[in-house]
């Protein structure tokens, strides 16, 4: 490497985007990853849907009304947003920028449309699709959740084939047949991505000084 090649290198953050059809277990995987790795940040999205039991405002989502969501849109506060099952969700720019600029790792939870939009905005974002082992298991998980009306369950089941058909566009696919095994696979992906040269080189301050002499 020629002298001075690393002179302008700066920390490069890792953006991970998790998507899945409802009932695939994405939330359980995400919860375990964040508990095991407190150094990883979570991008809290804004949504107009009401909170479910045990969900906390500002932690699981920023729960806002339609008027507030419209204000965010007017202020160009979202990287992407979409309407899903009658509710609006948006990824806030300020949730990501400070983590990326400091070289940290952040996880986003979005649908497939949102994931591809984020990839357009951040070309280095890593897309991970969480898939259920089979359609029958997905139906069973949704019906056992008891957090949705029957109409909501039917809406989510109808959307699942469309979402699953898009998983070929993701960087990684994790089959959630066993929760602990799926969590381990996501951890492996994170480790592998953090070992890529574009993320390692900016942090090698001593070597950069040595080679830039």
Query: Which strands make up the sheet holding 126-131, listed edge to edge?
Result: 41-42, 105-109, 14-19, 126-131, 172-175
Measured between alpha carbons, how far is 196 from 71 in angstroms, rounded to an integer?
Answer: 39
Report the pLDDT value the prediction gives residue 85, as an integer from 0 to 100: 77
Q: Could you tell me the domains of the chain?
A: 14-42+106-211 (3.40.50.300)
Joined together, the tokens standing for residue 55 give: 């969900």
Per-residue pLDDT of the chain (213 residues; tens, 9 = 90+): 344 444 444 557 899 999 998 888 898 999 999 999 999 999 999 999 999 888 889 888 999 999 999 999 999 999 989 888 789 999 998 888 888 888 889 999 988 988 999 999 889 999 999 998 888 787 777 777 666 667 777 777 777 788 888 999 999 999 999 999 999 999 999 999 988 877 777 667 667 667 776
Cα–Cα nearest to 48, from 16, 73, 31, 29 = 73
Measured between alpha carbons, how far is 117 from 17 in angstroms, rounded to an integer?
Answer: 11
Per the CB < 8 A criterion, the answer to whether 45 and 88 are in contact is no
With tokens 């001593």, the residue in question is: 206
Q: pTM for the complete prediction?
A: 0.79
């Amino acid at each position: 490497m020629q002298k001075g090649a690393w002179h302008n290198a700066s920390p490069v953050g890792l953006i991970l985007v998790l998507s899945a059809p409802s009932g695939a277990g994405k939330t359980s995987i995400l919860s375990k990853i964040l508990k095991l790795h407190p150094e990883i940040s979570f991008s809290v999205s804004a949504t107009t849907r009401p909170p479910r039991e045990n969900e906390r405002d500002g932690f699981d989502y920023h729960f806002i009304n339609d008027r507030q969501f419209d204000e965010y849109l007017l202020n160009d506060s979202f990287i992407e947003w979409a309407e899903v099952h009658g509710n609006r969700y948006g990824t806030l720019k300020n949730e990501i920028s400070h983590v990326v600029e400091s070289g940290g790792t952040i996880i986003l939870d979005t649908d497939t449309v949102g994931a591809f939009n984020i990839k357009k905005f951040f070309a280095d974002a890593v897309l991970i699709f969480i898939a259920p082992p089979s359609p029958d298991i997905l139906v069973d998980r949704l019906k056992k959740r008891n957090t949705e009306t029957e109409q909501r369950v039917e809406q989510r089941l109808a959307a699942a084939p469309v979402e699953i058909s898009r998983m070929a566009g993701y960087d990684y696919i994790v089959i959630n047949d066993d929760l602990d095994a799926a969590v381990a696979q996501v951890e492996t992906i994170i480790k592998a991505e953090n070992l890529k040269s574009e993320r390692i080189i900016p942090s090698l301050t001593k070597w950069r000084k040595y080679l830039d002499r």
